[in-house]
Chains A and B, each alone.
Chain A
Amino acid sequence: MNTKKELQVSAIENGTVIDHIPAEYLFQVITILGLDKSKNSVTFGNNLESKILGKKAIIKISDKFFKDEEINKISLIAPHAKLNIIRDYKVAEKKIVESPKKVVGIAKCMNPKCITNVEAVTTRFQVINNAPITLKCHYCEKITDHKNIEIV
């Protein structure tokens, strides 16, 4: 049993903690949420031990509270992500990520003959199944299943 209490990423006073991100997707989550352009202070840790994921990543963003539709974008790559809303160093609220009904401009269509892979077209999908997440391309009408989801 590991009893050490030391936090691997230091605590924030107010803001959002996104936990249980698969380690390999940390930087994609950062990009999707626009944190690479954020003026808020952002701290993160990667390749931390996780019982569920093996290796996980965690991101802490000070003074930032996401709208649901904003945060749901990451459900494609981090379906098990959990959000803690922090106020005055305490967890004020917990949220889980939910699959959106539509996915615009985040994922790549797996069909190499799709127009979105030939020309500069923003991808658009209908989410036809949540678990496992399954996307249907608005353009070529082909299915991209969770195993083949690639983030743009």
Chain B
Amino acid sequence: MDNKSLVSIDDYSKEEILEVLARAAQFEKNPNCNLLEGKVVASLFFEPSTRTRLSFETAISRMGGRIVGFTDSSSSSVTKGETLKDTTKMVSNYCDLIVMRHPIEGSARYASEVSDVPIINAGDGANQHPTQTMLDLYSIMKTQGTLENLNIFMVGDLKYGRTVHSLLMALSHFNPTFHFIAPPELEIPRGYKIFMEKNNIKYFEHSEFNDIINDADILYMTRVQKERFADPLEYEKVKNVYILKNDMLDNTKANMRILHPLPRVNEIAVDVDNNPKAYYFQQALNGVYARQAIIAKALNL
């Protein structure tokens, strides 16, 4: 087992989160370096995720590393019936670090136990996606100057959205106040409410999406996914309730920024894109710096 792996956001302490964010800021100033010169990173995408993969591959390339791997499991020996264990063991012989995306939950933790080199989890099913959380934190830090004492509003699918859950856990170190805006079908799971109550974290739940967002420092939007609804009528009822339109931002705080893990469908109207409070495209770019910092930490560089 390698403890330098990043499988779940809980693997990082508060100090480690801050250390990686500070490192990400350095990479943003000087993205090109040769820290990974002579190193081989395996990029194993057992399911396609173009956005995440390109972000990782950009991070590795800017650090001077080489990439081997596959972009979906149809081009790997998985189609011949090879187990994750065997694939991981074999690849870990070849490389210095493995970046892995896999549809099965817990696969990254298991891989980190059979691999001789560190694993960075680039998403394991509906479970964890810690590099997304780190880039979300980096974006919050960059736009607010701090992670402490912020009003965080989360909107949309709070039940199934893993980015919401991981961000909630990570921010719990920094005395946040959460506001959750979701239809009852997609409200934040009970387990997380118990977690917040145990840790004295203030939270409020709303089903209306209106001028309560005027208090927000961060507005974290997510997509309401049709496939989550058993009854298509229920989806039709809520799908247009949580759309952010430009005029809703008129009385929001000047420092407020809108984040979204992307891809978006219609939950942020296109006219918001030109508002200076829209931050989701810069947020995606921040992913490269955050991943550079995570890779450097995993390899002790």
Contact = CB atoms under 8 A, between A and B. Distances in A.
B106 A116 contact: yes
B84 to A, nearest CB: 6
Given A141-B8, A143-B191, A115 B128 contact: no
* Range, interface on chain B: 10 to 19
Given A115-B84, A119-B84, A119-B85, A139 B106 contact: yes
Contact of A115 (B8, B104, B126, B191): B104
B125 interface: yes
B84 A113 contact: no
A119 B125 contact: no
A127 interface: no
B110 A113 contact: no
A114 interface: yes
Contacts of B85: 119, 121
A50 B43 CA distance: 59
A142 B126 CA distance: 10
Contact of B105 (A120, A142, A143): A142
A120 B84 CA distance: 10
Given A141-B8, A141-B127, A114 B191 contact: no
A104 interface: no
A137 B8 CA distance: 13
Nearest to B8: A141
Contacts of A121: 85, 110
Contacts of A114: 104-106
Contact of A139 (B83, B103, B110, B126): B110
A45 to B, nearest CB: 40
A152 interface: no
Interface in B91-126: 103-107, 109-110, 124-126
Interface in B49-108: 83-85, 103-107
B127 A140 contact: yes
A41 interface: no
Contacts of B84: 115, 119
Contact of A113 (B8, B105, B109): B105
A115 B85 CA distance: 11
A116 B8 CA distance: 17
Given A119-B85, A121-B110, A138-B109, A113 B128 contact: no
Interface residues of A, number: 17
Nearest to B85: A119
Contacts of B128: 141
A113 B191 contact: no
Contacts of B104: 113-115, 118
A119 B127 CA distance: 17
Nearest to B191: A143
A111 interface: yes
A114 B128 CA distance: 12
Nearest to B165: A141
B106 A137 contact: yes
B230 to A, nearest CB: 17
A28 B126 CA distance: 32
A146 to B, nearest CB: 16
Contacts of B8: 141
Interface string B172-207: 000000000000000000010000000000000000
Given A121-B85, A140-B106, 16 more contacts: A109-B106, A115-B106, A115-B107, A116-B106, A119-B85, A119-B110, A137-B106, A138-B106, A138-B109, A139-B106, A139-B109, A139-B110, A141-B105, A141-B106, A142-B127, A143-B191
Interface of A: 109, 111, 113-116, 118-121, 137-143
14 contacts: A113-B104, A113-B126, A114-B105, A115-B106, A116-B106, A119-B110, A120-B83, A121-B85, A137-B106, A138-B109, A139-B106, A139-B110, A141-B128, A142-B127
